[in-house]
Structure 1
Amino acid sequence: MKSLYAYLVIILLLFCNCSSSELVENWKNPDIDTFEAQKVLVIGISPNMDNRKIFERKLASELKKNGVEAVRSIDYFEKSFTKTPKTEEEVLALESQLLEKGFEAILLSKVVGVQDRVTVVKAYRNLDKTFSSFKDDYYKNQDIFRDKDYYEEYQIFHAESSLYCICPEKERELIWKGSIDITEPENIRKAVGDYVKVLVWALKGQQLLIIEELTDEGIDI
C-alpha cells in the first residue's frame, strides 16, 4: 500500500505543478460505486465553435484511448441544433433519441463562472446549482451557445463537467459532477489539454467510465 500511496502523491504533485487546470470540487452519487457505459455523448457548451470542436475532439480522443466509445456532439447534432433555443420537451426527446441510438451516458461540460485575478467581475453562473438530469442542465445553460461576449475580458474560468446516466430501464440521473478552474484560458489548446487531463484523471479516480483495478504495486490498466 505504501507504493500505491507514493504513486498517487506523485501524480497529484505533477498536476499541481504543471497543469493550468485544477479540480476544486467534485460530487459523486453516493448510491453508485462504479459506472460503465457502452457509448457516451460528449458535449461542450460554448459560443465559440472552434473552441467547442477542440474540446470535444480532445476529450473524445482521451476517452477512446481508455476504451470508452465516445461520440462528439458536433458530429451527432445537426448544425442548426444549437442555433435556436430548445424547449424542455425537445431536450427530453433528444434523450429518448440517444437511448434508441445506444447511448448510455452524457458527459456535459460548460463554463459556469468567470473572474479576473484581482476582482470578481462576473458572478458565478449556476455554480451552486446541481442539476439532477441532463434535460435540466442543458435547458438552463443552452443560451451560452449564442452569447458571444460570455468569455471576454476574464482571467480565470470556473468550469464544470457533469456525467449523466441515460441507461435503459434505469432512472436518468446525475452520476458525478466536478468543478475545475482554468487559470490560462488565453491559450486554448493548453487549457483544453490540461482540463481534459484533470477530468479523465478524476473519472478514473472515481471509477466512472474508466474502470481500473488498484493493486499494492500500483495501478493496473
Structure 2
Amino acid sequence: MVEIGTRPARNRLNPRLGLSLLWLVAALVAACATTHLKDSWKDPRFSGAPFRKVLVIGVSRSDANRRLFEDGFVQALRVSGTEASASYSLLPEEGPLPKERIKQAVAKTGADSVLVTRVLRVQRKVDVSPGYVGPGPGFYGWYGATWAAAPEIHAYDVMTIESTLWDIKREQAVWSGISESIDPKDVTKVTRELAEALIAKMKEDKVL
C-alpha cells in the first residue's frame, strides 16, 4: 500500500535477478547452437605475437560451400579485429590448390598466417527414446498403453571439422581445433557458430 503524500516507488530489477536472467539468456543461446568446439591444441613452442593477417582456405568439393564458408569466416575475423582475406577471390580453382598459387596469394594479401578448415567425417547417428508399457486393464487398456509408449526415433548427422592455423613464414601449424556440428544443413549457420567458437579460443590462446 502507498501512503498518502508519498510517491510510488518505481519498479526496479533486483541486480541479482538481472544477473540470473542474463545467465539464463546466455544458456538458452548456447543451447540453440549446433556447432561446438570439442578440443583444441596450441604449439607449446609458439611464443610469437598474435597473427594479424589471415588467409582463409575452406577445403570443399562444393565451390558454393567454399565461398560461403570463407566469406563468413573472413567477416567474423574482421569484426573481431583481425584482418583476413578469402582465398577463393585469388584462387578460384576447384580441387587441390597448387603450392605456387598459394604462395602467390599469401604474398598478394600480405598474410602472416593461413587458416585451413576441412571436414574429417560425417556420421549418421540414431537416438531412440524407449517407452514403457505398464500392466493395463485387459487387452484394450494394454493396447492403448502400448501405442502411447511407442519409442521415438530421431536420426541425425554429426559432422566433424578440423581447423588448423599455420604460421606461413615457418610453414608450421601453431593451432588446431576439432569441432562437431549436428545436422549441418545450413552452411551459413554452421560457419557463423564455428567462427565464433574458434576465434574466441584462438584469441584466448593468443595466436590471434
- The structural deviation recorded for 1:14 is 6.2
Q: Give the number of aligned pairs.
A: 158
Higher strand share: 2
Work out whether residues 34 and 206 of structure 1, in 8 Å CA contact, stay in contact via their aligned partners in 2.
Answer: no
Which position in structure 2 is the counterpart of 1:62?
Answer: 76
Q: RCO greater where, 1 or 2, for CA within 8 Å and sep 6 or more?
A: 1
* Deviation for aligned residue 1:59: 0.5
1:158 corresponds to:
160
The one of 100, 107, 116 equivalent to 2:107 is 100
Cα distance in 2 for residues equivalent to 1:98 and 1:157 = 29
SS for the counterpart of 1:117 is: strand
Counterpart Cα distance in 2 of 1:52 and 1:95: 16
Q: TM-score, length-normalised on structure 2?
A: 0.66
User: Who wins on radius of gyration, i.e. which is larger?
Assistant: 2
Checking the alignment, whether the CA contact within 8 Å between 2:157 and 2:183 is kept in structure 1 is yes
Q: Post-superposition shift, 1:35? A: 4.1
Aligned residue number for residue 196 of structure 1? 195
Unpaired runs of 5+ residues, structure 2, are: 1-18, 128-154
Q: Distance in 1 between matches of 2:50 and 2:172?
A: 14
Task: Give the equivalent residue in structure 1 for 2:124.
Answer: 116
The alignment-based identity, stated in percent, is 27
CA distance in 1 between counterparts of 2:161 and 2:40 reads 12
CA RMSD of aligned residues (A): 2.7
Asked if the contact 2:58–2:66 (Cα under 8 Å) also holds between the matched residues in 1, the reply is: yes
Does the aligned pair in 2 maintain the 1:185–1:191 contact within 8 Å? yes
Q: Give me the TM-score of the superposition, normalised by structure 1.
A: 0.63
C-alpha separation in 2, matches of 1:21 and 1:98:
30
Q: Which runs of 5+ in 1 are unaligned?
A: 1-5, 120-152, 210-221
Letter in 2 for 1:106: V
User: Contact 2:156–2:183 at 8 Å: present in 1 too?
Assistant: no
Report the CA distance between 1:36 and its aligned residue.
2.1
8 Å Cα contact 1:114/1:154 also seen in 2: no
